[in-house]
Amino acid sequence: MAAVDKNSAGVGERQYHIGVAPGEVSTVALLPGDPFRVPLVAEFLSEVQTVAHQREHLTMTGLYKGRRITATSTGMGCPSTAIAVEELVRVGVTSFIRVGSSAGLQAGVRPGDLLVSEGALRNDGTTAAYVHPGFPAVPDLEITRSLASVAQELVDGTETRVHSGINASDDAFYAETPEWIAELNRIGVLNVEMESAALYVVARLRGVRAGMICSTSSNLFDGTSLYGDIKPALKEGWMRSIEAALETAVRLEL
């Protein structure tokens, strides 16, 4: 008997965790973390269909400006994100754009501002199981440039700002100490979230493209509370990040 080779398991079949089969998704997928934000993506789409909802993974597919778009929630953290990306690749997705929330780490980053990732500091355990510790977690350059450009178009004339830079991907939300936050700030890390490292590494290994644009939920460096009265700004940022991702998908024909 031979051990199971998970690299080839499930290719071209209905996927075990996300419940999606070939033909049910687009070649491009937007990836919010929270399943309750998948319907926010669907607000921009027509002819929307709910494809599957298993565990933390809700998938909907519809049309944006005539182009088929899929949205799948990853859940929180790199482990479930890696599973979602692996399984979406197995059913035909070739480009991914994460649209989520992230905490700012530099002065001047405010709730609702848009954050475009240029790469991730891999402070997670999932990517360590995939690649050498020195392997970079970087997004697709063309997608990243488009996200930054479109985001700036969307905020022109408003008080919202677009920031681009390196983010951190952490595993343990409540283990982020003041010392760790201060160190990330010192070395110029723009923001911190929990999923992009896995997205970028798995995408590179599987030969597909990935990028990320987030709405700022809080600023951990200057003390803007995650639990304060920031929800209207955060949701407005979510909607702008989704629109920037959708426009990028159309303009680049992902």
Q: What is the CATH number of the domain that holds 148?
A: 3.40.50.1580
The total domain count for the chain is 1
Residue at 26: amino acid letter: S
Q: Return the SS3 of 221.
A: coil
In a domain, 77, yes or no: yes
- Whether residue 13 is contained in a domain is answered as no
- Is 1 domain-assigned? no
Please tell me the number of Cα atoms within 13 Å of 109 on its side-chain side: 31
Residue 3 resides in a domain: no
- SS3 state at 69: strand
The helix (run of H) or strand (run of E) holding residue 99 is strand 95-104
Confidence class for position 51, pLDDT limits 50, 70, 90 = very high
Give the residue numbers spanning the domain of 136. 28-251
Residue 72 corresponds to which tokens in the numbers above?
A: 């799948």
Does residue 57 fall inside a structural domain? yes
What pLDDT was estimated at residue 226?
Answer: 57
- Answer yes or no: is 18 within a domain: no
pLDDT in tens, 149-198: 999 999 999 999 999 999 999 999 999 999 999 999 999 999 999 999 99
Q: Is 155 a member of any domain?
A: yes
Segment 203-225 shows an average pLDDT of 92
pTM for this one? 0.96
Kindly state whether residue 7 falls inside one of the protein's structural domains: no
